[in-house]
């Protein structure tokens, strides 16, 4: 645990302040003692009889106070000085003219001394003592106990008056001097505080890396701009953009390179700004631009294109040429809202739509996008409870050998039935499962249930039946896929050759070395690999060889129009021919009628799948489906 040093620092500062104050008070005390001693020695020249004795005694005590001040006994020195001088003036008043004596003029000087040398306590003590002395002298005079002796004017009186004025004037001067110095110091500190406040405010309002306004200041700028636009009956556009492929820059070149790129980009984009436009760093690699606009989108389109073009211009980062792009979303006030956070969210939704459309482009917000986003969020909240509550079900769709009509394989398809009888398709919840981290648990469950289901059917007599299971790229990234598959096979008692794993083409492009290593380990124990939706992705023959694929599944988009679109027929024919030359089997998905079936048989396709034979059915119907199909195949023979 790190000790809290703030109390120690505060204590040190307090001690330092006390030391400085003590030094100043001691210095002033010595000055006053010196001035008082000088004045008393001057009066000794002209003093006579009892007055000489009083001044001599007073001088002695003043010199004693001066000596104590030299020895750093400040408090004792101050009390002796003020006490002796007050007593001296009292004695002079009693032996002289009473309250009419010149000594009374020295009391204000004592009060000034007390104010300079001590606190409120010392000042009030001296003031009380002076008042008490004056009252006592007045009482003695009024009672006739003493008789005021008013002397005639002489040079000695002038000396006494001048000494009092000089000492009093000196004390007033040093007091005013200290006050002026204090005021000057306060003014200087005030200037420093104002400067510090300005610096703190700038730091609080601006991003430290790019010096652009930050998100919090951006909200304030938005409010100011919105008011200005409303007065002119203009709209205020919020352009939210995110850098594409920024993470690879950080990963490959380091965060220093990423920071340098952001700095260069902010400088580049700032040059495009008009006086009424604000560029804001929202966070990370996200930026925000506020600009007035009209209902005509042409101006906004041009600005969005300029921003995207500037982002795409090559950067020189740490002796490397770096090229990135940006996806941009646009929301406008008041049409899309007037709340800053709401508009940011809506512009963000539009930005992600731009990413979906291929990146390096822009998209305007509309309500349909937000509804889709809200629906996605609501679905995400239901996903984990649905899994924990065993709401997911496996359905099976048969794959039929086109040469003999036998069902060779059933594909396990995950479904999410709803209480109202509807079904949420995997295209809706699988991406959410991947983004939420649930896909590994869900995929593990699918593998286990599919293997158990297939093993059960094999025990019922369908001994050659195989099961096909779709895999997500996230299951490969987990690093435990091989153990998961082996565990599912072992627990179900299913031989490895009865399991086929289906991968999409896009998965083969992602992190190929890691995936290739795991697939080789799986195929080594007898599991087969099928490439799903072939023809919609990269269709690279090298991947088929590297990943030990044994089957190509032709995407249904080519099969449904096979009999009406000549180019689809040519493409399917080419895929089948290519697969045959590589020793791969072909599966045609989406067969729904006999004409399509006959065409595929003529083209040499090996296996068919689709509604022509059966829709996907739940596990409790699978046995009946297999039995009925077997009977039909037997009767056909």
CB 361 within 8 A of CB 327: yes
Q: How confident is the model at residue 508 (pLDDT cuts 50, 70, 90)?
A: low
Res 540 pLDDT > 70:
no
13-50 per-position pLDDT tens digit: 444 445 556 777 787 778 888 888 888 888 888 777 88
Res 564 pLDDT > 90:
no
Res 345 pLDDT > 70:
yes
H, E, C per residue of 393-422: EEEEEEEEECCCCCEEEEEEEEEEECCCCC
Alpha carbons 346 and 349: distance in angstroms, whole number: 5
474-497 per-position pLDDT tens digit: 888 877 889 999 999 999 999 999
What pLDDT is recorded for position 2?
38
Cross-strand bridge partners of residue 607: 401, 587
Contacts of 157 (CB under 8 A, 6+ apart): 102, 151
Looking at the chain, how many residues does it have?
637
280-299 per-position pLDDT tens digit: 999 899 999 999 998 888 98
140-149 per-position pLDDT tens digit: 888 888 877 7
Among the residue ranges 218-227, 463-472, 526-535, the one predicted with the least confidence is 526-535
269-285 per-position pLDDT tens digit: 999 899 899 999 998 99
What would the mean pLDDT of 358-371 be, rounded to a whole number? 87
Counting Cα atoms < 13 Å in the Cβ hemisphere of 113 gives: 29
244-272 per-position pLDDT tens digit: 988 888 888 898 999 999 999 999 999 98
Res 538 pLDDT > 60:
no
Average pLDDT, the chain: 85
Nearest in space to 287 (alpha carbons), one of 340, 237, 344: 344
Please, what are the domains in the chain? 13-182 (no CATH), 215-365 (3.30.70.270), 383-636 (3.20.20.450)
What pLDDT is recorded for position 261?
93
68-103 per-position pLDDT tens digit: 888 888 888 888 888 888 888 888 888 877 888 778
This prediction has a pTM of 0.58
Among the residue ranges 118-122, 457-461, 530-534, 605-609, the one predicted with the least confidence is 118-122
H or E element at residue 11: helix 6-46
What pLDDT is recorded for position 223?
94
Contacts of 134 (CB under 8 A, 6+ apart): 99, 104, 107
% of the chain residues with pLDDT over 70: 92
569-579 per-position pLDDT tens digit: 888 999 899 88
What would the mean pLDDT of 320-335 be, rounded to a whole number? 93
Res 305 pLDDT > 80:
yes
Alpha carbons 467 and 448: distance in angstroms, whole number: 11
Tokens of 415: 């479904």
Tokens of 599: 């065409």
What would the mean pLDDT of 297-310 be, rounded to a whole number? 92
Among the residue ranges 29-33, 173-177, 473-477, 597-601, the one predicted with the least confidence is 173-177
Res 585 pLDDT > 50:
yes
What pLDDT is recorded for position 634?
61
Greater confidence (403 vs 159) lies with 403
What would the mean pLDDT of 219-242 be, rounded to a whole number? 93
Among the residue ranges 216-230, 280-294, 541-555, the one predicted with the least confidence is 541-555
What would the mean pLDDT of 610-636 be, rounded to a whole number? 85
102-142 per-position pLDDT tens digit: 788 888 888 887 877 777 888 888 888 888 888 988 898 88
β-bridge pairing 393-401 and 607-609: antiparallel
β-bridge pairing 325-333 and 362-364: parallel
Q: How confident is the model at residue 633 (pLDDT cuts 50, 70, 90)?
A: low
Q: Give Cα separations from 137 to 96, 130, 291, 484 (angstroms).
A: 11, 11, 84, 109
């Amino acid at each position: 645990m790190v000790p809290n040093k703030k109390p120690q620092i505060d204590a040190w500062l307090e001690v330092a302040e006390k030391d400085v104050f003590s030094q100043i008070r001691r210095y002033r005390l010595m000055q006053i003692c010196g001035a008082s001693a000088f004045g008393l020695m001057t009066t000794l020249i002209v003093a006579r009889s009892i007055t000489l004795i009083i001044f001599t005694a007073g001088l002695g005590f003043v010199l004693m106070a001066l000596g104590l001040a030299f020895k750093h006994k400040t408090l004792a020195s101050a009390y002796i000085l003020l006490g002796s001088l007050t007593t001296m003036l009292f004695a002079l008043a009693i032996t002289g003219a009473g309250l009419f004596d010149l000594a009374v003029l020295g009391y204000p000087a004592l009060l000034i001394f007390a104010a300079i040398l001590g606190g409120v306590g010392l000042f009030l003590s001296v003031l009380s003592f002076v008042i008490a002395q004056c009252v006592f002298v007045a009482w003695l005079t009024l009672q006739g106990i003493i008789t005021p002796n008013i002397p005639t004017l002489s040079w000695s009186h002038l000396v006494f008056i001048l000494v009092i004025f000089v000492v009093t004037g000196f004390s007033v001067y040093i007091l005013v001097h200290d006050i002026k110095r204090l005021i000057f110091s306060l003014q200087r500190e005030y200037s420093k505080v104002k400067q510090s406040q300005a610096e703190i405010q700038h730091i609080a309002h601006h991003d430290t890396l790019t010096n652009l306004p930050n998100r919090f200041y951006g909200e304030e700028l938005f409010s100011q701009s919105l008011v200005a636009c409303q007065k002119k009956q203009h709209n205020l556009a919020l352009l939210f953009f995110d850098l594409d492929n920024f993470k690879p820059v950080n990963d490959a070149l380091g965060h220093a390179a990423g920071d340098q790129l952001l700095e260069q980009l902010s400088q580049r984009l700032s040059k495009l700004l008009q006086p009424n436009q604000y560029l804001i760093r929202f966070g990370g690699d996200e930026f925000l631009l506020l600009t007035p606009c009209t209902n005509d989108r042409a101006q906004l389109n041009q600005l969005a294109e300029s921003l995207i073009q500037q982002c795409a211009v090559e950067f020189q980062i740490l002796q490397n040429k770096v090229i990135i792009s940006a996806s941009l979303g646009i929301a406008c006030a008041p049409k899309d809202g007037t709340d800053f956070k709401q508009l940011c969210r809506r512009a963000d939704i539009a930005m992600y739509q731009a990413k979906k459309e291929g990146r390096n482009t822009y998209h305007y917000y509309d309500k349909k996008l937000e509804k889709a986003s809200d629906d996605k969020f609501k679905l995400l909240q239901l996903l984990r409870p649905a899994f924990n509550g065993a709401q997911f079900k496996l359905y099976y769709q048969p794959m039929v050998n086109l040469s003999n009509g036998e069902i060779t394989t059933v594909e396990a398809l995950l479904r999410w039935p709803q209480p109202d009888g509807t079904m949420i398709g995997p295209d809706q919840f699988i991406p959410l499962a991947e983004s939420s981290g649930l896909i590994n648990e869900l995929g593990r469950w699918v593998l286990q249930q599919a293997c158990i289901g297939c093993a059960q059917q094999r025990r019922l007599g369908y001994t050659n039946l195989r099961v096909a299971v779709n895999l997500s790229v996230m299951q490969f990234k987990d690093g435990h896929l091989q153990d998961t598959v082996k565990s599912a096979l072992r627990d179900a008692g299913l031989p490895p050759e009865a399991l086929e794993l289906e991968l999409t083409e896009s998965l083969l492009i992602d992190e190929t070395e890691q995936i290739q290593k795991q697939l080789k380990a799986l195929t080594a124990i007898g599991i087969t690999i099928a490439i799903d939706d072939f023809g919609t992705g990269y269709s690279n023959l090298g991947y088929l060889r590297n990943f030990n694929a044994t089957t190509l599944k032709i995407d249904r988009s080519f099969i449904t129009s096979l009999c009406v679109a000549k180019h689809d027929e040519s493409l399917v024919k080419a895929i089948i021919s290519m697969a045959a030359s590589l020793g791969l089997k072909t599966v045609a998905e989406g067969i729904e009628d006999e004409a399509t079936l006959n065409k595929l048989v003529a083209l040499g396709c090996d296996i068919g799948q689709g509604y022509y034979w059966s829709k996907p059915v739940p596990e409790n119907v699978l046995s009946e489906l297999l039995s009925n199909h077997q009977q039909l195949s037997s009767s056909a023979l």
